[in-house]
A and B are shown apart, each in its own frame.
Chain A
Amino acid sequence: GDSVTQMEGPVTLSEEAFLTINCTYTATGYPSLFWYVQYPGEGLQLLLKATKADDKGSNKGFEATYRKETTSFHLEKGSVQVSDSAVYFCALSTGGSYIPTFGRGTSLIVHP
């Protein structure tokens, strides 16, 4: 079946540092890929998505590129802020069921 693997957290960074959160997947067919963000005590918000190979999703300074050859969708940001502290979830969905498969989430803590 489909699966998503994210790096274990927490990831702890100083403000203005470069962020990478790794995400790899296995899927039958050609999935759409997503990153969601969850701030403390809130629901998830869609951060960005990519629907085909080599697409780059971007939003709020975050980027991720759909790499079919490495089955990866790593999240990056050039300069993190304290307000980026949250849990980040990688997810995929395929045409078979439309029900997304989520990773376990990666907690990001940014210190001033």
Chain B
Amino acid sequence: DGGITQSPKYLFRKEGQNVTLSCEQNLNHDAMYWYRQDPGQGLRLIYYSQIVNDFQKGDIAEGYSVSREKKESFPLTVTSAQKNPTAFYLCASSMVGASSGYTFGSGTRLTVV
């Protein structure tokens, strides 16, 4: 079955460390996205990519970085510059188009210890 896989499900980071969250999809979707969700909050867009080797900043890109070397993969690195990284991170993919809707992964919960 086609889908989108995020790993790991839980991740612990020491202060000052960079960590990378994985996102892989086998839906042949062109576009991929990263969102951050804090308790009781909505979704905030971090980065998105609509084509391989190209990506755009979202609303809260500071302290994060991404790459899009393959259509299937869109890893997110949370750098030490991100001051408050503890959150639930969601990856999504879609065909490019207003009516297609998103497919989401199951999320990664990142905690700074």
Q: Which residues of B contact A93 (CB under 8 A)?
A: 98-99
Return chain A residues, CB-CB under 8 Å to B101: 32, 34, 46, 49
Q: Across the interface, do A45 and B104 meet the contact criterion of CB distance under 8 Å?
A: yes
Are B43's CB and A51's CB within 8 A? no
Chain A residues near B104: list those with CB within 8 A.
Answer: 36, 43-45
Main secondary structure of the interface of A (DSSP, over half): loop
Question: How many A residues have CB within 8 A of the partner chain?
Answer: 23
Given A42-B106, A43-B90, A45-B104, CB of A99 within 8 Å of CB of B45: yes
User: Which 10 pairs across A and B sit closest by C-beta, in order of nearness?
Assistant: A43-B104, A104-B42, A32-B99, A51-B99, A44-B104, A93-B98, A46-B101, A43-B106, A95-B98, A32-B98
> B interface vs A, CB < 8 Å?
6, 31, 33, 41-43, 45, 48, 50, 58, 90, 92, 94, 96-99, 101-107, 109
